[in-house]
Amino acid sequence: MKLWGAGTARSLRPIWVAEELGLEYEHAPIGPRTGETKTPEYTALNRKQKIPFLQDGDIHLSESVAICRYLIDQYPTDNLKAPTAPKDKVKEDEWCCYIYGELDETSLYVMRRHRDLSEIYGASEEVVKAAGAYAERHLGVMAEHLNDREYLMGDGFSLPDLLLVTCLDWATFYGLNVPAPLQAYKARIAQRPAYQKSMYTNYKELMGEINGAVNGN
């Protein structure tokens, strides 16, 4: 098994799932917009020239949610709850679509495009501000849901929780207002060893810079 990609919230997700499942895998830490996704070798594997990307035998998959779903279904463990009843499966789909659609794509990535990637997409403080406000609105919806719950699905840590935490990291980095229930929820999940290991694997260079600053190097 080989997982390609590092340095983004989206590349973190399959690494985290693999760690939760206790899988052995090779990690290829290529980054977006570094030229590494556009080499002939990588393009032959993934015509989209995007990360993350999974090779598992004859299975080749892109898109973070699809990779995560495949790994959870193929290598089940109690560490990640996977619904079996139809009503629970569609509820999981609802949460995954909501988090990916409204937080990742529609707001956080829009902020990234018009702030971090402004040389490509154009800088716009107005768009960044509007996208941030939109994200905060939906963070409020999830904070209300989690106010008296430990996990989104109610019966244990599952894929929607993993997706949400990666977006909360992103939102915090962008300085958005993350409601207290979500802060407590994220802090609790951040104690998971698989999360901590995957964060280091995905953000190894950044973690090294932080550790160096903390240690005075």
pLDDT tens by residue, 157-206: 999 999 999 999 999 999 999 999 999 999 999 999 999 999 999 998 76
Decide the pairing of beta strands 53-56 and 59-62.
Answer: antiparallel
CATH number of the domain within which 13 lies: 3.40.30.10
pLDDT interval class at 207 (50, 70, 90)? low
Give the pTM.
0.93
In a domain, 182, yes or no: yes
In a domain, 119, yes or no: no
Residue 206: what pLDDT?
62
Sign of the dihedral through C-alpha 35, 170, 115, 208 = negative
Q: Which of 37, 16, 8, 13 is nearest to 194 (CA)?
A: 16
Q: Considering its fold, how many domains does the chain have in total?
A: 1
Q: Could you give the angle at which helices 159-173 and 64-74 cross, rounded to 10 degrees?
A: 150
CA distance 61 to 3: 10
In a domain, 130, yes or no: no
- 145 has pLDDT over 60: yes
In a domain, 102, yes or no: no
- 154 has pLDDT over 90: no
- Residues 60-108 have pLDDT tens digits of 999 999 999 999 999 999 999 999 999 999 999 999 999 999 999 999 9
In a domain, 137, yes or no: no
More confident residue, 148 or 4: 4
Domain that holds residue 149: 1-83+142-217
CA distance 51 to 37: 8
In a domain, 58, yes or no: yes
Supply the mean pLDDT for the chain.
Answer: 93
In a domain, 191, yes or no: yes
Phi, psi of 94 (to 5 degrees): -60, -50
In a domain, 93, yes or no: no
**What value does the mean pLDDT take over residues 207-215?**
41
Residue 216: what pLDDT?
44
